[in-house]
Amino acid sequence: MNGGRAVFLDRDGVLNRALTRNNKPYPPSTIEEVEIPQGVPEALDSLRQAGFRLLVVTNQPDVARGTQDPVALNAINDYLSERLPLDHVYVCPHDDADNCDCRKPLPGLFHRAAMEYGLTLADCYMVGDRWRDIDAGHAAGCRTVLIDYRYAERGPTRAPDQTVSSLPEAAAWILQHAGV
């Protein structure tokens, strides 16, 4: 497998359905709330077969806020890792006030993954469903794909390279764009 290329994936809203209230996305708090949308495993398989690493980069500020149990968070990540062909799940458990470099839209998790996997970030893609994902992907130097659910929140600072309505559509665009 080519170690230099990866597809970075947000977790909630990309790999599993985000829970929405008042048109705003929220993460599942238990395994029972996790739903993997149709076509996600196949989309990831196609990316993996094309030689991409599959790396999750997810903000989980509810841990810092005390409303998400870290054990439950790890159980959800393990559940997804058992069902999907993921190479690694990188988690930022901090909130904005923590001023860390791993909370998207900052690119700290991308830089860490690049070091660990020998990635060339300019050859990588970020797929996300929120402005923080797209801004972080741009900050890391990746191409970006927005799965647009039209949440009631601001958009990214810079437009994504592509806008789609599902992970299978994102995977198809990446494979075409990468010439695979």
What is the H or E stretch that residue 128 is in? Answer: strand 125-128
Look at residue 180 in the predicted model and tell me its pLDDT. Answer: 80
Asked if the structure places residue 1 within a domain, the reply is no
Mean pLDDT of 119-141: 98
Of the pLDDT bands very low, low, confident and very high (cuts 50, 70, 90), residue 41 is very high
Structural domains counted in the chain: 1
Asked if the structure places residue 81 within a domain, the reply is yes
Residue with tokens 């690119």: 107
Mean pLDDT of 89-111: 94
Asked if the structure places residue 17 within a domain, the reply is yes
Q: What are phi and psi of 57, to 5 degrees?
A: -125, 110
Record the pTM.
0.95
CATH number at residue 166: 3.40.50.1000
- Lowest mean pLDDT: which of 2-6, 115-119, 125-129, 149-153? 2-6
Asked if the structure places residue 106 within a domain, the reply is yes
Asked if the structure places residue 34 within a domain, the reply is yes
- Find the domain containing 21 and state its range: 6-177
Catalytic residue among 10, 133, 135, 161: 10
Give the pairing of strands 24-26 and 19-21.
antiparallel
Residue 10 falls in the annotated catalytic set? yes
Catalytic residue among 12, 129, 133, 135: 12
Average pLDDT, rounded, for the chain? 95
Of the pLDDT bands very low, low, confident and very high (cuts 50, 70, 90), residue 2 is very low
Helix (H, G, I), strand (E, B) or coil at 146: strand
Asked if the structure places residue 125 within a domain, the reply is yes
Residue with tokens 């949440």: 151
Mean pLDDT of 165-178: 97
Of the pLDDT bands very low, low, confident and very high (cuts 50, 70, 90), residue 67 is confident
User: Above pLDDT 70, what percent of the chain?
Assistant: 98
Asked if the structure places residue 20 within a domain, the reply is yes
Asked if the structure places residue 104 within a domain, the reply is yes
Of the pLDDT bands very low, low, confident and very high (cuts 50, 70, 90), residue 1 is very low
Q: Which of 1, 29, 6 is nearest to 89 (CA)?
A: 6
